Structure 1
Amino acid sequence: MPENEPWEYSLYIPNDVRAVTVCRRTLRLILTMHGLIGRVDVAELLATELVSNAVRHTKGPAALRVRWAPPGTLRIGAWDADPEPPEAPVTFDSATELEEGRGLALVRACSDLWGWQPLSRFGNRGKYVWCELEAA
């Protein structure tokens, strides 16, 4: 059973497509160690889409953030150094023939809630794109 205490992890990554795999495997380990193995598959899909967007569409560093808030909210997010908002998700009807651009549509479809916010800290700008999975 998952812990009743909140926790949070952040993994800072370089702008390198190999970092997506590192994030996915790290997330699997974190969720397994916290007794959330039932959420691993969907969480990996969501994290992969968020981190892939951060790495592919920006030039600077990025980060994966994973947070658990009892009684049952898992938040997965990706930070990147680009302050521009993410492109609006396409609908699956229009995405069926696209080879790119389906990531946020998958995030929207597979999560209970998603969003983004601009960030500014210590003179650095960027954005944080996140999604949540609620307790089953």
Structure 2
Amino acid sequence: MPENEAEPWEYSLSIPNDPRAVTICRRTLRLILTMHGLIRLADTAELLATELVANAVLHTKGPAVLRVRWSAGVLRIGAWDADPEPPEPPEELASLVDAEDGRGLALVKACADVWGWQPLARLGNRGKYVWCELRVA
């Protein structure tokens, strides 16, 4: 285990409502995980962050925030957006094989150890925080 893996840390990246922000978040997340010696989580974490941030950017009108937190062997990835409406419950991934869209949260549900959402206020704006966790065995 890298020596800094045991220490908790957290990063937040504020992003505009711009589809290019998804790529920036994905690349930033990979760099964060690499610098903290957690590259083994990068592929799955990138997929999860991409889906969460894409939902925040594509389905809302305001800014968003990617939040990444490491604590006690758990990586939590979350996206805040300004829309207070809850996300649509994901269907089972197997039922979406031929779907053109709508697979985002189904992928999150399938790949993460746990996921959820909560209403949230940030800087006086109401919104929601959708998150997922990856545990290191």
**TM-score, normalization by structure 1:** 0.96
Letter in 2 for 1:33: M
How many residues are matched?
135
CA RMSD of aligned residues (A): 1.0
The structural deviation recorded for 1:60 is 0.1
Unaligned runs of 5+ in 1: none
Q: Share of identical aligned residues, percent? A: 76
Work out whether 1:107 is the aligned partner of 2:108.
Answer: yes
The structural deviation recorded for 1:120 is 2.0
Cα contact 2:17–2:63 (8 A) shared by 1: yes
2:9 paired residue number: 7
The change in CA–CA distance for 1:30 and 1:90 in structure 2 (over 3 A counts) is same
- Alpha-carbon separation, structure 2, partners of 1:39 and 1:74: 9
Cα contact 2:93–2:110 (8 A) shared by 1: no
1:19 paired residue number: 21
Pick aligned residue for 2:41 from 39, 42, 53: 39
- Alpha-carbon separation, structure 2, partners of 1:15 and 1:121: 16
Letter in 1 for 2:60: T
Letter in 2 for 1:119: L
2:80 paired residue number: 79
Structure 1 segments of 4 or more deviating over 4 A?
Answer: none
Work out whether 1:66 is the aligned partner of 2:68.
Answer: yes
| Greater Cα shift, 7-16 or 91-100 | 91-100
2:118 paired residue number: 117
**TM-score, normalization by structure 2:** 0.95
The structural deviation recorded for 1:121 is 4.0
- Alpha-carbon separation, structure 1, partners of 2:45 and 2:110: 13
